[in-house]
Chain A
Amino acid sequence: AQSVTQLDSQVPVFEEAPVELRCNYSSSVSVYLFWYVQYPNQGLQLLLKYLSGSTLVKGINGFEAEFNKSQTSFHLRKPSVHISDTAEYFCAVSLFSGGYQKVTFGTGTKLQVIP
């Protein structure tokens, strides 16, 4: 079975400061990794994904994430946040099982950007 842990439920950060949102996963097989963003009263949008290849993945809106197999982590980073980045961020792992892509989501991290 796969699982995802997002230890920080809320992360406050000042505007233009860097931020890191942490994600750790567990799985007995290789998985695909994703970050989704959810703005208030909206659905989730794909931010970035890691399937294979380079462990540093760049996504939309200046975000990037690094896959670390030895630490089973996939932390999300941005060097300088903006007010518009205020949202909830979900880490997810996916593997192909039982004929479909089984996706497990973390519980989410609310990023609050302070002016």
Chain B
Amino acid sequence: NAGVTQTPKFQVLKTGQSMTLQCAQDMNHNSMYWYRQDPGMGLRLIYYSASEGTTDKGEVPNGYNVSRLNKREFSLRLESAAPSQTSVYFCASSRGGAENNYGYTFGSGTRLTVV
């Protein structure tokens, strides 16, 4: 089982460049999430999609956009990369809903460096 697949695994961007991080899950999960992980700060939610067709801002949405392409795929776009966006990005998914709390399944992450 693939679970949550993220691409690319590594990326180096120049300041001002744009890129899209891809995420796909094969578990028929309803909810999907994008987090960034920075040393000493844990994981911070960027955007989430509670269900197909909906997206909402999380804790740190500035400089990012998302698209829930279908139930499987949830992409994160950096329109104009800045050095402050150097981080490790994780996509996660969950069954969603009030009664289904089985925790999150995480992808293996994308290490992004903006120079």
Of A44, A99, A107, which one neighbours B90 at CB under 8 angstroms? Answer: A44
Assess the A43–B106 pair: CB atoms within 8 A. yes
Restricting to A39-90, which residues have a CB under 8 Å from any CB of B? 41-46, 49, 51, 90
Assess the A43–B96 pair: CB atoms within 8 A. no
Assess the B50–A107 pair: CB atoms within 8 A. no
Restricting to B73-110, which residues have a CB under 8 Å from any CB of A? 90, 92, 94, 96-98, 101-109
Count of A-B residue pairs with CB < 8 Å = 57
Give Cα distance in the complex from A32 to B43, angstroms: 17
Of A34, A42, A51, A101, which one neighbours B109 at CB under 8 angstroms? Answer: A42
Which residues of the partner chain B approach A51 to less than 8 Å between Cβ atoms?
Answer: 101
How far does the Cβ of A78 sit from chain B's closest Cβ, in whole Å?
19
How far does the Cβ of A49 sit from chain B's closest Cβ, in whole Å?
6
Q: Which of B45, B54, B56, B104 has the most CB of A within 10 A?
A: B104
Assess the B40–A107 pair: CB atoms within 8 A. yes
